[in-house]
C-alpha cells in the first residue's frame, strides 16, 4: 500500500497527490519547506520547525492559510496515517498556481503538502568511522541577495555544490561565502573543535539557522563546553582538532578528511562522539 500524503487539508493516496505544472513552486522554486525528524513516534522539535516555516513564509510574503497549531496537527496526522515511528517529514508550502510570469500575487491559493516516510541519509559506517568532504567551488548565495534564514524551495545553489561532492566521490561539500568564510555544507551546519572549544559560523556568514544546530549548541553548553559563533576560513577547517556537521537528516556526523587533509588522527573526535551520544539521548526522549 502506498503512502498517504496530506494535501490541502486531506489525506490522499500518493498517486493522487498532484500539484499543477503552473504552480510557481515548480516554475520558479517559489515556496518554503521544512524537513523534520520523527523519533519513537514523536515529531522532533515540531514547534521550532513550524515557527521557522512561518517566518520564512512571512519574509517572502507567502500567506499560509491555516494557523500553526492546525499545521502541527496535520504533521502528526500524516505520521500516524503512515505509521511512521522513526522517520522523516517533508512539509512544503508552494506559492500556488499562477501564470508564466514572475508576479507572485497572481497566485491566489498556496498549496500545502506533507510527506512522512523513512530516511537514511548516510550509512552507519560513516557515523562510526567518519566521513570525507571537499571544499566546493560554488560560492554560497550572498546573504543580502537571499537571506540564509529562509528555507526556500530554490536549492540550486546547494545542488551545484552537491554535484561537485559527488563528482569527487564524497557525499558532502563545504560551501564558502563571497568573502571566503565558511557558510555551511550543502545540507548541514558546520562545526569545528579547537582546544576543547567549539566554533561554528554565524548565520550572517550564509548558513541556515538549523534546528539541530541549536539543539547541539545547547547540549554542548550543558556539558560545560564553550561554543563560539565566529567566522571561519578554510585554514581553520584544515587545522581543526575535530570537524563535524549537524542537520535534521544527518544528526551529528564527524568529518575525518577535507580536500585530502586528514583531520587530527583521522577518526571522529571525542567531543563529536559525545555530542552525537547526547543528541541521540535527547532525540529519543532519554534526557530533557
Catalytic (active-site) positions: 151
Work out whether the CA dihedral 114, 11, 111, 70 comes out positive or negative.
Answer: negative
Give yes or no for a contact between 38 and 79, defined as CB atoms under 8 angstroms apart.
yes
Amino acid at each position: 500500500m502506498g503512502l498517504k500524503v496530506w494535501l490541502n487539508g486531506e489525506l490522499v493516496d500518493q498517486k493522487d497527490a498532484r500539484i499543477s505544472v503552473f504552480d510557481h513552486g515548480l516554475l520558479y522554486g517559489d515556496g518554503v519547506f521544512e524537513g523534520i525528524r520523527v523519533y519513537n513516534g514523536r515529531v522532533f522539535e515540531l514547534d521550532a520547525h513550524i515557527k521557522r516555516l512561518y517566518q520564512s513564509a512571512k519574509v517572502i510574503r507567502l500567506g499560509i492559510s491555516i494557523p500553526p497549531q492546525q499545521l502541527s496537527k496535520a504533521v502528526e496526522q500524516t505520521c500516524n496515517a503512515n505509521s511512521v515511528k522513526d522517520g522523516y517529514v517533508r512539509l512544503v508550502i508552494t506559492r500556488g498556481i499562477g501564470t508564466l510570469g514572475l508576479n507572485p500575487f497572481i497566485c491566489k491559493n498556496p498549496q500545502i503538502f506533507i510527506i512522512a516516510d523513512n530516511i537514511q541519509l548516510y550509512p552507519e559506517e560513516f557515523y562510526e568511522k567518519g566521513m570525507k568532504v571537499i571544499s566546493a567551488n560554488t560560492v554560497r548565495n550572498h546573504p543580502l541577495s537571499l537571506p540564509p534564514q529562509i528555507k526556500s524551495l530554490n536549492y540550486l545553489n546547494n545542488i551545484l555544490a552537491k554535484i561537485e561532492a559527488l563528482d569527487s566521490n564524497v557525499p558532502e561539500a563545504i560551501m564558502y561565502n563571497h568573502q571566503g568564510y565558511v557558510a555551511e555544507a550543502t545540507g548541514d551546519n558546520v562545526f569545528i573543535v579547537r582546544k576543547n572549544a567549539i566554533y561554528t559560523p554565524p548565520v550572517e556568514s550564509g548558513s541556515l539557522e538549523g534546528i539541530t544546530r541549536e539543539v547541539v549548541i545547547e547540549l554542548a553548553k550543558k556539558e560545560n563546553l564553550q561554543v563560539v559563533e565566529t567566522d571561519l576560513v578554510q585554514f581553520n577547517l584544515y587545522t581543526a582538532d575535530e570537524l563535524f556537521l549537524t542537520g535534521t537528516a544527518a544528526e551529528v556526523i564527524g568529518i575525518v578528511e577535507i580536500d585530502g587533509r586528514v583531520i587530527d588522527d583521522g577518526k571522529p573526535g571525542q567531543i563529536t562522539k559525545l555530542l552525537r551520544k547526547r543528541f541521540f539521548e535527547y532525540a529519543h526522549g532519554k534526557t530533557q
